[in-house]
Amino acid sequence: MEVHEAFIPGIYNYCDRWCETCAFTSRCRVFADIVRSAAPIPGWLQACIEDMKGHVAPEHQPIEDRARGYSRGVAGWSQAAGAPPPDCDRADPRSIVLRYAAFIPPKVHRALIGFGEAQQDPAEGASDSDGSAKVALLAIERSRDAWIQLAACGLAPFADADRFVSDLGRLAGDLNRVFPRARAFVRPGFDEPLTSTIG
């Protein structure tokens, strides 16, 4: 793992934006900047807004629509169920579902616009699109597990959980098809040991 001036370069590009529970905040330049600036909105939300910039190729629009549709569905479920705020408790499956429902669409979007840029110039964006797809896939997996927990604990009707798990399964299938190398992407810090220090 490369470290430069005590920070891991690029680690913030492939995290789940849940700074409150991250073991790498002391090595994340974005987190340090947020703390120094006392940003008026949470850093994870600003990062998600940034991820939403750019255009998706028409052939991939159904994937983006599926991700956004899932997010809207979870928001409706949350309102009806009176679920807690998404930052409430990382161990609470309701918090996991809500947090990642807002996180998945921008990461899918970033992966898809990165794919389009990589098609135009293979030297640019391919790694980032795979990394963004991997983070989205990890969030999908955690969300599916959380829905199963919710149903098992009686906190969500089985029919609701089954519908959302199926939606997430289709979305994961889409991402695996478009980004077959995503799972092999090595995220700075998260998927590598500390091996070298620079600066």
Say what the pLDDT of residue 34 is.
67
Q: What is the mean pLDDT of the chain?
A: 80
pLDDT band at 100 (very low <50, low <70, confident <90, very high): very high
- Average pLDDT over every residue of 10-25: 74
Residue 48: per-residue pLDDT: 55
Instruction: Please state the domain extents for the chain.
Output: 54-184
Cβ pair 189, 24 in contact under 8 A: yes
Q: Given a cut of 70, is residue 196 above it in pLDDT?
A: no
Picking from 15-19, 53-57, 81-85, 99-103, which range would have the lowest pLDDT averaged per residue?
81-85
Does domain 54-184 fall into CATH 1.10.150? Answer: no
Over residues 77-97, the mean pLDDT reads: 76
Q: What is the pLDDT of residue 126?
A: 45
Does the model's pTM come out above 0.85?
no
Based on its alpha-carbon atoms, the radius of gyration of the chain, rounded to whole angstroms, reads 17
| Range with lowest mean pLDDT among 61-70, 105-114, 186-195 | 186-195
Residue 89 has pLDDT above 50, yes or no: yes
* SS3 per-residue string spanning 58-112: HHHHHHHHHHHHHHHHHHHHHHHHCCCCCCCCCCCHHHHHHHHHHHHHHHHHHHH
- How far apart, in whole angstroms, are the C-alpha atoms of residue 71 and residue 88? 18
**Looking at residues 60-89, what average pLDDT do you find?**
84
Q: What is the pLDDT of residue 52?
A: 55
- pLDDT of 19 > 70? The answer is yes
pLDDT digits (tens, 9 = 90+) for 30-68: 777 766 665 455 555 555 555 556 788 889 999 999 999
Shortest CA distance to 128 belongs to which of 116, 146, 140, 139? 116
